[in-house]
Amino acid sequence: MDRMEELGFRSETDRQIFREAAAPVELSPFGLHSGMFVPTLERQGTPEQSRKWVPLGKSFKMIGTYAQTELGHGTFIRGLETTATFDPETQEFILDSPTLSSIKYWPGNVAKTVNHCLVMAQLYTQGKCHGTHLFLVQVRNMEDHTIMPGLEIGDIGPKLGFDGVDNGFMRFNKYRIPRMNMLMRYAKVLENGDYIKPKNAKLTYGAMVMIRVFIVMDAFKTLSRAAVIAVRYSAVRRQSELRPGGEEAQVMDYQTQQYKLFPLLATSYAFLLAAEGMSQIYAKISSDIERGNLEDMPQLHALACGLKAFCTWVACEGIEVCRMSCGGHGYSHASGIPKIYANIVGACTYEGENTVMMLQTARYLSKCYIRGQRGESLPELIQYLTTDLNVKSTLGEDCSFESLVAAYSHRAARMVAVACKLQQTNKKKGMAGHDAWNKSTVPFIAATKAHCHLFIVRNFVTILSQKKIDPATHNVLSQLCTLYAVYGIVENMGEFMQDGYFNQDQVSILNRKVLALLEDIRPNAVALVDAFDYPDHLLQSCLGRYDGQVYEALYEYSKSSPLNNTDIHSSYYNYIRPMMQKRSESKNISAKL
Ligand SMILES: CCCCCCCCCC/C=C\C/C=C/C(=O)SCCNC(=O)CCNC(=O)[C@H](O)C(C)(C)COP(=O)(O)OP(=O)(O)OC[C@H]1O[C@@H](n2cnc3c(N)ncnc32)[C@H](O)[C@@H]1OP(=O)(O)O
Ligand SMILES: Cc1cc2nc3c(=O)[nH]c(=O)nc-3n(C[C@H](O)[C@H](O)[C@H](O)COP(=O)(O)OP(=O)(O)OC[C@H]3O[C@@H](n4cnc5c(N)ncnc54)[C@H](O)[C@@H]3O)c2cc1C
């Protein structure tokens, strides 16, 4: 903290980048404190509550996390069972875990690190339930860090990754907190127990929207780091003869290796720009919301859900491709890639399980489609839904940005229409609304992925057409943008061709273009990963070192393995030697027989 003050880091983004650089391999045990707990106090507390608690949080006098998920519920927030019952006699809320399934389970850093939590609980006052609300709860003694009486707290045990985060469980037994510990910016409970409801019940969910926006940037960071490691290693690694009798080739010169890695390099750039675009949209709409203008809240929620799900799914798949493209050494922790994967793959689940998040976006698209069919105006990002689906592609050899964006718009508009028509057909067959929805959710997921893909392609093209970039850089970035878009079409050709949007010649053009772009990008591939400027300390990779001294680094890494601390391991004396002695004795016995 003091070091960040000395360095003058004021913005939370800069502080987060510094924290990651300081602790690159394991996630910080304070990530949730800084990324979720403090910002939620700022955004969901009254001005008085913020003035009181935010300085304590920012100075780490109070260390907190966000405790919402329970053993029995994570996705379905309205189904959470923890209760907060107002007691007007004592002006307190009584927090309780009434059932086994109501035990808070998963909250990060709750096991051993934090002394406070923001707890999501069902609010009861005057005998009535008003739904889930957030409460600031002290969970450990500020003097000796012991667990407060009335609480049971512990660690949930080993996980796939996230080893730097002590995810825990927490059980309340009639635990009392002051009335003023309910975050009351939007909803209130008065001294007499009267409940003042918020303008929109989902304002309480604002912290999740904010983190989903951050996670889009995390998807970029993790995929780009894996791409840096894999591309640099592919430049160093020589294997097999490309030309019979010639020297062993750089594996980066195999077309298959380029087809694995260069689209992921292009995706990394696309996701960086998408994360920046998403952050700008979030900043604008969240400030409108804080001023009481909730008009664009559904659009923000839908975009944040969709991009969080789309980008984490693609990033995790891409990181695995990067790992496998490094052969055996990719499977070693020496590569740094397994840790990258293990720490980000949870993002497909936390802050909203990806399928559920995609369905939130799908629900929004379904409503917009109906509005579009009625001729109502639509937000700019959704206006493509009224695209004339009878139009065919004008794509030519140049694969222009305009023709590519038109293709993605057509694909998304067509797929949303297909899903919506299935939903409407289900209703006409007499299905209840929720069944008609559920029986069309598979095509809605596909349509929503197409919607997110369009956002990312269009955003990339827009930035290249608007930003002043020197010609040489613009040329290389245009190659990456074209590769990202053309590769996405080639890999999903069925969705683009289903209604004959492309003709056979155009399909051939696209298949030729994606291979030609690999050759165009090959000379700049290493420079394009170096441009991310990740220091070796951050990558923690023997394969992705800037100096390319891979084998020296692997040898040193291996020698440092703890198993090498002794020549003969104790397992020889405890198990191997007794087993061998027993075998030889039994052999002597059989020989005598
Ligand atoms: C620079 C600093 C960087 C710091 C980075 C730090 C990063 C730290 C790393 C984080 C790592 C781990 C932390 C993890 C934390 C967690 O996981 S916290 C728990 C997260 N849990 C969830 O996300 C639960 C997901 N479930 C939900 O969001 C909702 O329950 C769901 C939306 C799925 C459904 O809710 P329902 O109440 O059933 O709502 P529904 O009927 O579907 O919709 C009703 C209506 O409400 C609208 N809606 C729903 N949610 C929101 C929202 N958040 N905002 C706005 N509107 C919302 C929905 O669209 C519907 O609207 P409609 O008009 O009726 O269609
Ligand atoms: C690494 C990690 C860190 C976490 N940190 C925190 C934390 O700090 N604080 C916190 O409160 N929580 C935390 N969580 C919990 C996390 O928020 C939940 O796990 C997440 O919200 C998913 O909810 P769930 O576990 O109930 O999954 P479920 O919703 O039970 O998912 C199971 C399956 O059901 C499907 N499903 C569920 N609902 C629907 C639906 N309506 N339609 C279609 N399919 C559906 C899902 O798609 C999924 O395939 C963390 C989780 C992880 C993995």
Q: How far is the CA of 520 from the centre of ligand 2 (A)?
A: 42
The answer to whether position 179 is within a domain reads yes
pLDDT band of residue 20 (cuts 50, 70, 90) is confident
Q: What is the pLDDT of residue 199?
A: 87
Q: Which atom of ligand 1 is nearest to the CA of 206?
A: 53
pLDDT of 545 higher than 80: yes
354 lines ligand 2 (CB under 6 A): no
| CATH number of the CATH domain containing 56 | 2.40.110.10
Q: What is the pLDDT of residue 290?
A: 87
66 lines ligand 1 (CB under 6 A): yes
Q: How far is the CA of 313 from the centre of ligand 2 (A)?
A: 15
Ligand number with the minimum distance to the CA of 33: 1
Q: Are residues 186 and 217 in the same domain?
A: no
Q: What is the DSSP letter of 294?
A: -
Residues forming a β-bridge with 123: 84
- 264 closest CA partner among 326, 213, 211: 326
Protein residue whose Cα sits closest to atom 41 of ligand 2: 356
The answer to whether position 108 is within a domain reads yes
Q: Are residues 179 and 65 in the same domain?
A: yes
| Mean predicted confidence (pLDDT) in 553-573 | 96
Ligand number with the minimum distance to the CA of 35: 1
pLDDT of 536 higher than 70: yes
As a whole number of angstroms, the distance between CA 574 and CA 89 comes to 66
12 lines ligand 1 (CB under 6 A): yes
Q: How far is the CA of 304 from the centre of ligand 1 (A)?
A: 9
pLDDT band of residue 409 (cuts 50, 70, 90) is very high
472 lines ligand 1 (CB under 6 A): no
pLDDT band of residue 587 (cuts 50, 70, 90) is low
| Mean predicted confidence (pLDDT) in 57-81 | 97
The answer to whether position 585 is within a domain reads no
The pairing of strands 104-105 and 116-125 is unpaired
Q: How far is the CA of 211 from the centre of ligand 1 (A)?
A: 10
How many CB atoms are located within 10 Å of the residue 429 CB?
10
Question: What would the pLDDT profile of 292-350 be if each residue is shown by its tens digit?
Answer: 899 999 999 999 999 999 999 999 999 999 999 999 999 999 999 999 999 999 999 99
Q: What is the pLDDT of residue 205?
A: 86
346 lines ligand 2 (CB under 6 A): yes
The answer to whether position 355 is within a domain reads yes
Q: Are residues 254 and 303 in the same domain?
A: yes
Q: Are residues 357 and 471 in the same domain?
A: yes
Residue 152 Cα to chain centre, angstroms: 30
Phi then psi dihedrals of residue 367, to 5 deg? -70, -40
Query: DSSP string of 324-392?
Result: HTTHHHHHSGGGSHHHHHHHHGGGGTTTS-HHHHHHHHHHHHHHHHHHHHTT----GGGGGGG--TTPP
As a whole number of angstroms, the distance between CA 43 and CA 213 comes to 15
Share of the chain above pLDDT 70, in %: 98
183: containing domain: 2-198
pLDDT of 590 higher than 60: no
Q: Are residues 147 and 225 in the same domain?
A: no
Question: What would the pLDDT profile of 102-155 be if each residue is shown by its tens digit?
Answer: 999 999 999 999 999 999 999 999 999 999 999 999 999 999 999 999 999 999
pLDDT of 499 higher than 70: yes
Q: What 3-state class would DSSP assign to 462? A: helix
Q: What 3-state class would DSSP assign to 460? A: helix
- 224 closest CA partner among 537, 545, 531: 531
As a whole number of angstroms, the distance between CA 365 and CA 416 comes to 7
198, 231, 263 - which closes a domain: 198
Q: Which atom of ligand 2 is nearest to the CA of 159?
A: 1
The identity of residue 91, as a single letter, is Q
Q: How far is the CA of 182 from the centre of ligand 1 (A)?
A: 20
Per the structure, how many domains does the chain have? 2
| CATH number of the CATH domain containing 315 | 1.20.140.10
The answer to whether position 269 is within a domain reads yes
Q: Are residues 186 and 213 in the same domain?
A: no
As a whole number of angstroms, the distance between CA 540 and CA 568 comes to 29
Q: Are residues 89 and 230 in the same domain?
A: no
Q: What is the pLDDT of residue 591?
A: 53
Task: Using most ligand atoms within 8 A of CB, pick from 341, 350, 442, 444 the residue to mutate for ligand 2.
Answer: 350
Residues forming a β-bridge with 302: none
As a whole number of angstroms, the distance between CA 570 and CA 510 comes to 60
Share of the chain above pLDDT 90, in %: 91
Annotated binding site for FAD: 69, 108
Q: For residue 336, what are the contacts with CB-CB under 8 A and spacing of at least 6?
A: 225, 229, 539, 540, 541, 542, 543, 544
pLDDT band of residue 511 (cuts 50, 70, 90) is very high
76 lines ligand 1 (CB under 6 A): yes
As a whole number of angstroms, the distance between CA 183 and CA 543 comes to 48
359 lines ligand 2 (CB under 6 A): yes
- Residue 403: HSE in the Cβ half-sphere, 13 Å Cα cutoff: 17
Q: Are residues 170 and 245 in the same domain?
A: no
Annotated binding site: 69, 108
Q: Are residues 268 and 332 in the same domain?
A: yes
Contact 395, 409 (CB under 8 A): no
Q: How far is the CA of 349 from the centre of ligand 2 (A)?
A: 5
Q: What is the pLDDT of residue 28?
A: 85
pLDDT of 593 higher than 60: no
pLDDT of 44 higher than 80: yes
Helix (H) or strand (E) holding 138: strand 128-138
The answer to whether position 40 is within a domain reads yes
Residue 499 Cα to chain centre, angstroms: 33
Please tell me the least confidently modeled range out of 139-143, 289-293, 382-386, 536-540.
289-293
Q: Are residues 247 and 179 in the same domain?
A: no
Residue with tokens 């944040």: 304
pLDDT band of residue 22 (cuts 50, 70, 90) is confident
Q: Are residues 321 and 454 in the same domain?
A: yes
Catalytic residue positions? 351
The identity of residue 335, as a single letter, is S
The answer to whether position 249 is within a domain reads yes
As a whole number of angstroms, the distance between CA 67 and CA 109 comes to 10
198, 222, 237 - which closes a domain: 198
pLDDT band of residue 446 (cuts 50, 70, 90) is very high
363 lines ligand 1 (CB under 6 A): yes
The answer to whether position 558 is within a domain reads no
Q: What is the pLDDT of residue 400?
A: 98
Q: What is the pLDDT of residue 276?
A: 94
Question: What would the pLDDT profile of 211-263 be if each residue is shown by its tens digit?
Answer: 999 999 999 999 999 999 999 999 999 999 999 999 999 999 999 999 999 99
Instruction: Please indicate, yes or no, whether the overall pTM of this predicted structure exceeds 0.90.
Output: yes
Q: Are residues 269 and 187 in the same domain?
A: no
Considering the chain, what is the average pLDDT of its residues? 95
528, 559, 579 - which closes a domain: 528
- 44 closest CA partner among 185, 196, 182: 185
Phi then psi dihedrals of residue 85, to 5 deg? -105, 125
